[in-house]
């Protein structure tokens, strides 16, 4: 190791600034590596109460929404109650004409209007810069968001952002909060009613822009501390996850990952990024109060201990939920933060904010454990790779909802061609860590490796499709982060060997859940495929990600058609072929 600036000069290494020497000199990092600068900011996006940038109306409960006459006195607008149609929403989205625009909560059934606020929803941003590349990582407490919708989304945010800031990429990830506003459209006043609030969605865009601007204005030289939990030794997270409706296999990405940015030459925390892998829906479907669910308590605990801005980003959440939320069984965990929480007569949890906050404190404790055992990154390398990803949209329900204007991201092309989804996949190296992204709710076995983690309860369930390559195995860094629902939410990414979906029911106007071949053994119907844009999402995205990580086209059988889904990967393949021809 280098011990002093004098020794560095004697060896001909360029003298660093005194601040840099206090940190980087002690680690022996090559002087040629550029200085890493980091800034962070957090702005509320809660649709509640007064806000200087809100240009819509506020209902008597404080929740944002169009004015209405509360005939039954329950505080929310019920079907049939008169309301004042705000022309501002219609100007943004013509389908909002004569539709009540308010805050419908997302993630469960329809017509769950918000009645108040428990805690705030946020746009929390970290901007990272190394002198040549500047990237913004943004986490929003929403069910999902999109890179390009008709009147909102990441592309619009990019157009609103001052080009002089030099932000080349915006990685916007949704926490998949089930107790926040409908930002997709599926949870309005009925199955065929759009639940989005146009003015509110554009408010979110403005707040995200401001959060990026504020974070960029606070850039400062930073060092990185990295940590992970050991699933076998972390009592705070033990037994925390369950599989939705009991769908096999019982596989989770149990590792919690932490990336902390600290001012170089000091101890002031700039930001702490927490990456974990479970649906935030611990308040379930009866709650009508706005909350960011257990991420709120995680962030509060992390900020209380370290200061700075705490950012929570989901990973390969697939069908993973907090234990007991949908299928509590005898022996399931009921103790959180040192306290036992009651079960109902049906052996399900009693869903309370006290329980939710206790869950968050347990997860925050796991963050502390990870950082206590963590280490400082010895590298300041910052490299961003990305590839486009597209495919045919074949979910009949999605297509229908897009046609009638409920899903504004999925509007059928005017030329009559087959609708397609389009998104971006990232692979980033940051110090001793790697970050990959996925455009939805990735089943954890696809991240960890389907060949090792596929279901074995029912040989008849295999569709014959080959297993997707392991994304995690293709990552070479010691610390391996997965950002879920980033930058899009195209539903579940289900491994293709177990993919099944029935066609739409024309009478009920819904997609039937297909019957599992082992239903007689207690395996439930396949819900997840009904909420997925395409069966190619898992195999194609895994193959594109592995190609970005390795610089090679994967030879796995599941990747045979990968070049059909990405222009960037086709160019990579062509370049490799040209190079081979020159040898």
Verify that 266 and 357 share a domain, yes or no.
yes
Whether residue 97 is contained in a domain is answered as: no
Verify that 347 and 491 share a domain, yes or no.
no
b/e for 298-311, b at 16 or more Cβ within 10 A?
bbbbbbeebebbbb
pLDDT tens sequence across 505-529? 766 666 788 899 999 998 999 999 9
Backbone angles phi, psi at 339, to 5 degrees: -130, 140
Verify that 151 and 290 share a domain, yes or no.
yes
Verify that 410 and 357 share a domain, yes or no.
no
pLDDT tens sequence across 435-473? 999 999 999 999 999 999 999 999 999 999 999 999 999
Whether residue 57 is contained in a domain is answered as: no
Verify that 453 and 542 share a domain, yes or no.
yes
Instruction: Select from 337, 352, 376 the last residue of a domain.
Output: 376
Please count the helices (runs of H) and the strands (runs of E) in the chain. 14, 23
Contacts of 429 (CB under 8 A, 6+ apart): 381, 382, 383, 477
Tally of domains in the chain: 3
Nearest Cα residue to 202 out of 164, 152, 137: 152
DSSP one-letter code for 318? T
Verify that 370 and 391 share a domain, yes or no.
no
Secondary element (H or E) of residue 241: strand 241-243
- Find out whether 519 and 457 touch, Cβ atoms under 8 Å: no
The pLDDT assigned to 243 comes to: 83
The pLDDT assigned to 411 comes to: 63
Verify that 561 and 457 share a domain, yes or no.
yes
Whether residue 75 is contained in a domain is answered as: no
Instruction: Select from 376, 402, 421 the last residue of a domain.
Output: 376
Contacts of 80 (CB under 8 A, 6+ apart): none
> Exposure of 27 by Cβ count < 10 A (0-12 exposed, 13-18 middle, 19+ buried)?
middle
- Find out whether 317 and 442 touch, Cβ atoms under 8 Å: yes
Verify that 128 and 260 share a domain, yes or no.
yes
Verify that 539 and 492 share a domain, yes or no.
yes
- Find out whether 424 and 472 touch, Cβ atoms under 8 Å: no
The pLDDT assigned to 341 comes to: 92
Whether residue 89 is contained in a domain is answered as: no
The pLDDT assigned to 2 comes to: 34
DSSP one-letter code for 24? I
Number of neighbouring beta carbons within 10 Å of residue 97 = 11
DSSP-derived 3-state class of residue 51: coil
Question: Which residue stretches of the chain have pLDDT < 70?
Answer: 1-33, 324-331, 410-412, 506-510
Verify that 321 and 399 share a domain, yes or no.
no
**R_g of the chain, CA atoms, integer Å:** 24
Whether residue 70 is contained in a domain is answered as: no
Verify that 535 and 554 share a domain, yes or no.
yes
Whether residue 500 is contained in a domain is answered as: yes
- Return d(Cα 204, Cα 55) in angstroms, integer: 12
Contacts of 520 (CB under 8 A, 6+ apart): none
Verify that 331 and 425 share a domain, yes or no.
no
Domain carrying residue 26: 5-32
Query: Alpha carbon of 260 to those of 85, 123, 297, 372, 374: distances in Å?
Result: 46, 18, 18, 12, 10
Number of neighbouring beta carbons within 10 Å of residue 243 = 19
């Amino acid at each position: 190791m280098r011990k002093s600036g004098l020794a560095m000069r004697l060896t001909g290494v360029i003298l660093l600034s005194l601040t840099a020497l206090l940190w980087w000199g002690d680690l022996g990092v090559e002087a040629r590596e550029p200085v890493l600068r980091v800034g962070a900011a957090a702005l509320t996006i809660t649709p509640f109460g007064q806000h200087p940038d809100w240009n819509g109306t506020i209902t008597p409960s404080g929740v944002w929404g169009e004015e209405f006459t509360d005939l039954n006195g329950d505080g929310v607008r019920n079907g049939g109650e008169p309301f004042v149609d705000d022309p501002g929403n219609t100007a943004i989205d013509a389908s909002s004409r004569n539709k009540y625009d308010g805050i419908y909560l997302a993630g469960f059934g329809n017509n769950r209007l918000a009645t108040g606020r428990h805690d705030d929803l946020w746009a929390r941003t970290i901007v990272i810069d190394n002198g040549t590349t500047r990237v913004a990582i943004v986490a929003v407490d929403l069910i999902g968001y999109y890179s390009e919708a008709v009147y909102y989304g990441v592309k619009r945010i990019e157009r609103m952002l001052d080009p002089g800031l030099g932000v080349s990429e915006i990685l916007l990830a949704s926490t998949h909060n089930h107790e926040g506003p409908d930002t997709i459209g599926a949870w309005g006043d009925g199955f065929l009613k759009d639940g989005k609030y146009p003015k509110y969605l554009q408010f979110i865009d403005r707040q995200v822009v401001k959060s990026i601007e504020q974070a960029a204005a606070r850039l400062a030289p930073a060092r990185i501390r990295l940590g992970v939990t050991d699933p076998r030794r972390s009592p705070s997270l033990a037994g925390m996850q369950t599989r939705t409706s009991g769908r096999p296999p019982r596989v989770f990405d149990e590792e919690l990952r932490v990336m902390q940015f600290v001012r170089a030459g000091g101890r002031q925390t700039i930001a702490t990024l927490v990456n974990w892998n479970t649906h935030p829906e611990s308040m379930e479907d009866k709650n009508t109060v706005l909350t960011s669910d257990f991420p709120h308590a995680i962030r509060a605990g992390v900020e209380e201990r370290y200061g700075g801005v705490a950012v929570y980003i989901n990973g390969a959440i697939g069908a993973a939920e907090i234990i007991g939320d949908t299928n509590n069984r005898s022996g399931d965990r009921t103790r959180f933060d040192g306290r036992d929480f009651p079960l109902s007569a049906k052996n399900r949890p009693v869903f309370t904010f006290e329980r939710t906050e206790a869950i968050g404190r347990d997860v925050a404790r796991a963050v502390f454990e990870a950082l206590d055992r963590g280490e400082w990154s010895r590298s300041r390398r910052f490299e961003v790779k990305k590839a486009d990803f597209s495919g045919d949209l074949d979910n009949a329900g999605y297509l229908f909802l897009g046609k009638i204007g409920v899903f504004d991201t999925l509007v059928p092309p005017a030329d009559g061609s087959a609708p397609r989804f389009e998104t971006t996949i990232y692979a980033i190296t940051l110090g001793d860590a790697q970050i990959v992204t996925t455009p939805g709710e990735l089943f954890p076995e696809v991240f960890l490796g389907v060949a090792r983690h596929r279901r074995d309860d029912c040989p008849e369930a295999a569709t014959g499709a080959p297993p997707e390559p392991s994304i995690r195995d293709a990552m070479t860094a010691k610390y391996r982060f997965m950002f879920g629902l980033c930058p899009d939410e195209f539903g579940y990414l289900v491994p293709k060997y177990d993919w099944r979906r029935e066609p739409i029911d024309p009478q009920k106007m819904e997609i039937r859940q297909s019957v599992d071949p082992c239903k007689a053994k207690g395996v439930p119907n396949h819900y997840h495929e009904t909420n997925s844009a395409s069966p190619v999402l898992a195999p194609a995205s895994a193959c594109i990600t592995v190609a970005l990580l390795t610089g090679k086209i994967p030879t796995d059988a599941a990747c045979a058609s990968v070049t059909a889904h990405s222009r960037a990967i086709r160019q990579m393949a062509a370049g490799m072929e040209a190079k081979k021809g020159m040898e």
